[in-house]
Structure 1
């Protein structure tokens, strides 16, 4: 039986994926379980997918996790540099492919992997297929802002070229994701553009804006265009773009965050006076570090598939893995796929009328 909001969520975890290895993946799963246990009605069940002997040995460090988990054996692992076309041919024996198949078979409500992004996307799309009414799936993630909540951004690399219909569908999916993850009744949705004026941008972007302005019946508020320098201001809840632009924007934002962190570290260690200054300002710098830490915003999801698959950062630590699993649990409990299907059905019905 598949997961539903009223059942205990079951999450399939690719225990062998990621740069940091099995130990970090299991530590992250254990942390996610502890977080859930501290929340009222927060039980989670896990399918730990990978080499059975290695997983069983690793569980000795997490005795409380073992009774909440089932091991699903998969003898092979997808390499970080493996081509998606090669990975697909080995899907049935790899930890990544078997985790996705657990979702397809209804054994899990979502799959989480820190492995090869291209392989994960290709396997998920081939196995789960796109939802009715969706032309292309999109990769969505949460980014930190100066506002009261994070911002959902999509597409972050699944589709390099998109037409107006694709962008409209991304907006509907992103809004459903924001309502689920950020608990927003009517998320503010904007299109990434080179200017905020109506005449700016490509024809695809302007056509998508026209369709979204007319979609007043959907549970979202279209706010127009947003430029790249306003992404983190907290003025929007969902930012929509093609995967080429989105991936560049994401990598630029991550690089800027690392640049600021390294610059502060260099400044605070340049002299005895600056070191004293660091001690005084340490609470503020710790807050900044936590806010920019990608492990606190981990877990990009492929929206538009007949099932939930989340991509964790390959370099995610224990906290990052737990964050990705926590996001997966929220989506399962909220029945995100059903919400997306309903919103798309309402949009298409109004457009046809």
Structure 2
């Protein structure tokens, strides 16, 4: 067994053990922290599979923002799960076993783990994306070329989904949010911990700088708008937890956030309209620099990534601010 396979098997065992432990726990705070561990191990698996872009997002959202929101939800309700009668657990267990069995059966058709002769390695489209994209787009990172240029319409659809989901969540939370009620903040505010304040204050510039690096380096390595957006949001979530929600909202007011949510989508669509006005098709970045198509691709992809980053960061941060402003109901 190679070292690569051994590491993957070890991480899979950790994931399985964590999932089984979470399923049997009644203490929800502990279950939440184990869920964060599950996301962290999953991010490690993505790194091993060379999906560093996905690992960024999993680490920032799965380990960071999702854990904070879950802890905030528990502070509004109860910290222990109600014991479910055995007869009501049987249908759920049956569905889980059936689904797992179906997935295991379907997995028999998959190629061998790590095999070099898999369709993804031998299919002609692979060579097109890996080689021809360097000539068509001029971007070293093939993932960025595919997401922002070749399938730009699909990425635009994903951004629409993010905006729609964010607005829906804000509408659900909005009527129940009362900024003057500090019930949620008292349970999660870390403002009284001086060490955390000092360390977080030192880390904040580096977090935001790293987000900018991920955004602008997406042409050459792992990164891009989605990853940069969630890292930006994670920084402001940390700031709100450590220094208090009031200070965080003074730095980044809700009105500004709500304006930024559609701004990225408008910028994305506007870029497509401009490319059409310049004589090309929708999201044809070559028209941005007719004399140097590669420069036009660089400019168009940079604007697209910036638009995605703005919207994702604004949606994530707005959800945290609105959730943190909810009144305690217990």
Q: Is the TM value for this pair above 0.5?
A: no
Higher percent of residues as helix: 2
Mark the structure with the bigger radius of gyration.
Answer: 2
Higher percent of residues as strand: 1
